[in-house]
């Protein structure tokens, strides 16, 4: 079984029971002029993940291993978006409002979909989620159980919100998670640094942290 040099220690995984999870690499979050940038964020902090993640996905596909993509977003009538989430942000830049790439975070809109560089291939699972975590109100658990998945290699954005929430949810459900530092991103460099430290703290309290070249090398051996 492949072993990756990670923090707080080596991460060994069975390729027959491991999936790559790519969280919310959506145009609304990553594209210049989009929702994320309209809120004053530096989207380059997220876009730096695209190249290493594309390389990882290519290697993962070449090895015949499963990839699961997620997209955060809501139904057009916003019936799945609670007020506690909807009433965030400036009044003109809330979920469902018109944005540069369609209605913000609404399923079916251009901005809701994944960036061109990381588009899913036919047969790869795409999980649409209404919340931060990928397990809440989705069929992710059923997808993983059906495929016999017990370990997750986690990538995507943002580190401290949707990545953290998903990894915490996965850990509570018994999955072992490896988070790749160069393939996750935050708009805030301090959140990126601390978010990764939190995952691997106390002997890996809810996961391991490594870098994508080490994983690519491991699955090519």
Residues annotated catalytic, as ranges:
24, 129, 162
E strands within 100-188? 102-103, 125-129, 151-157, 176-185
Contact between 151 and 14 under an 8 Å Cβ cutoff? The reply is yes
Among residues 2, 7, 54, 1, the alpha carbon closest in space to that of 178 is found at: 7
- Measuring CA to CA, how many Å separate 32 from each of 27, 28, 81, 181? 9, 9, 25, 22
Evaluate the CA torsion angle 138, 142, 144, 146 in order and state its sign: negative
Backbone dihedral angles phi then psi of residue 63, each to the nearest 5 degrees: -85, -5
Q: How far, in Å, CA of 97 to CA of 93, rounded? A: 6
């Amino acid at each position: 079984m492949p072993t990756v040099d990670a923090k707080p220690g080596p991460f060994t995984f069975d390729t027959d029971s491991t999936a790559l999870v790519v969280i919310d690499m959506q145009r609304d979050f990553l594209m210049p002029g989009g929702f994320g940038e309209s809120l004053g964020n530096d989207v380059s902090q997220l876009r730096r993940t695209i190249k290493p993640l594309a390389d990882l996905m290519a290697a993962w596909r070449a090895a015949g291993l499963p990839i699961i993509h997620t997209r955060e977003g809501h139904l057009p009538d916003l019936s799945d978006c609670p007020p506690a989430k909807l009433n965030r942000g400036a009044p003109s830049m809330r979920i469902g409002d018109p944005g540069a790439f369609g209605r913000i975070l609404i399923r079916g809109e251009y901005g809701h979909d994944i960036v061109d560089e990381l588009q899913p291939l036919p047969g790869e699972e795409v999980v649409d989620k209404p919340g931060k975590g990928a397990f809440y109100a989705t069929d992710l658990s059923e997808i993983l159980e059906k495929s016999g998945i017990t370990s997750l290699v986690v990538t995507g954005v943002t580190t401290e919100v949707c990545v953290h929430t998903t990894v915490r949810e996965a850990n509570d459900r018994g999955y072992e998670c490896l988070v790749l530092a160069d393939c996750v991103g935050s708009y805030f460099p301090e959140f990126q640094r601390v978010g990764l430290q939190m995952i691997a703290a106390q002997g890996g309290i809810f996961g391991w942290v490594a870098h994508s070249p080490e994983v690519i090398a491991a699955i090519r051996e």
